[in-house]
Amino acid sequence: MASRHRKYDLLDLLLQAINDDGWSTLYLSDPKSHPFHLKIYNESESYNLRIYIWNLTHGGGRARPADEYRVQITGVNQFEQLENEKTLILGWWREGGVFAGFDYNKHTGILGRSPSIQIREEALRKANTLGISAITKENEEIATAFRPDFIVEYIQNLESLHSFGESASDLAVLEEVTTDPNAVNDAQISSVSQERQTTVTNVRKKIRDNSFKSRILTSYNSRCAFCSVQLKLIDAAHIVPVQHNGTDETSNGIALCALHHRAFDRNLITFNEEYQIIYSEKNFGKLRKIGLDGGADEFIGDLRAVINLPPAIDDRPHVEYVKFANEIRGWN
Ligand SMILES: [Zn+2]
C-alpha cells in the first residue's frame, strides 16, 4: 500500500508541474493504474502521454559508482509506446526536486530480471540549479534531468533531446546553452544539426523565460501588483514589451494575476512613474458604448491606489521603463 501511495504523490507532482506551466490535463485511463495515461493540452497543442515513473534511489552496492542514482523498475516487463503517444520514463529525485528522463528508444524490448536505469548525480545537481541538463550515458543514451518547471519543454522536445547523443558537437552546444543561455550566440546555434536546432533555441528561450518568471514571482511574493491576489494565478509580465527590446531584468517586470494581466495588455489599466494605478476612462467608455462594461465599477473599485512593490529597491519597476512603456502604449 505504501508504495502505491507514493505513486499517487508522483502523479500529483507531475500534474502540478504541468498545470503550473499553464497546460491542462485529462486522464486517458484509470488514474490508479501505472503507467499513467494522460492528455496534456493548451490552446494550440496537445500530447497523449504514457508515463512510467519511480523514485530515484541512491547507489546500488559496491559494484556501482558512488555518484549514481537509479530507478528500480518494478511492475513492468516492457515499456510500451503506442501510435500518436509519447512515452516518458521518469525518475524523481526527492532530495533535489528534479526529474530524470530516460530514452524510450534505448529501453525497448523485454526488460531483464531486476531491471534498473541509472543517472549520475552530477546531471541531477546541474538541473537543480540550471533547470535542465543533458548528460551522456553508455550506448549514446542521453539521460536528461530537469526541474518541474521544465517538464512541458522536456515533453515537447522529448525525441530530439534524447537524440543529442548522436553528435558530440551538438551536445556541447546544448550543454553550453543550459549552463549559460546568454553565452551562446545564434552562430553557434546554427552550427547544430538542422533537426536539433529548434530544440536548442527552445531550451535557450525557456531557460530565459523561467529565470525571468521565477525572479518576478519571488520579488512580488507571487502576488498581483494590482490586487494582491496569489492563488497561483500570477504571470510575470514585461513592462517594456520584448517586441520593443524590453529586457528580462527584474526591473522590467511586474507580477500580475490573469485578470489584471489581460486588462493591462488591453490598456484598461496601467501605473505611472509614481507607481499609482490609473485606468483609462476612454477605453472603459468604449466598452460602455457597446454594452460590455459589466463589472467595470467593481473592477475599478477593487484596484489598489498604488501597485504592490517588491521589498528590494533594485527589483522595483524602473521609472524609465514605466515611462517608455506608457508612451508606446498610448497612455498620455
Ligand atoms: Zn490582480
| pLDDT tens per residue, range 314-324 | 999 999 999 99
- What pTM did the predictor assign? 0.90
pLDDT digits (tens, 9 = 90+) for 18-37: 999 999 999 999 988 999 99
CA of 260 to the centre of ligand 1 (A): 5
What is the structure's pLDDT at 59?
Answer: 72
What is the structure's pLDDT at 217?
Answer: 97
Complete DSSP assignment for 240-295: S-GGGT----GGGEEEEEHHHHHHHHTTSEEE-TT-BEEE-HHHHHHHHHTT--TT
Q: What's 61's DSSP letter?
A: S
Percent of the chain with pLDDT over 70: 98
In one-letter notation, the amino acid at residue 49 is: L
Q: Is 82 helix (H, G, I), strand (E, B) or coil?
A: coil
CA of 148 to the centre of ligand 1 (A): 25
CA of 300 to the centre of ligand 1 (A): 11
CA of 229 to the centre of ligand 1 (A): 6
Going by pLDDT thresholds of 50, 70 and 90, the confidence category of residue 328 is very high
CA of 41 to the centre of ligand 1 (A): 25
pLDDT digits (tens, 9 = 90+) for 59-104: 766 677 778 999 999 999 999 999 999 999 999 999 999 999 999 9
Q: Cis bond leading into 31, ω under 30°?
A: no
CA of 304 to the centre of ligand 1 (A): 10
Contact indicator for 52, 34 with CB cutoff of 8 Å: yes
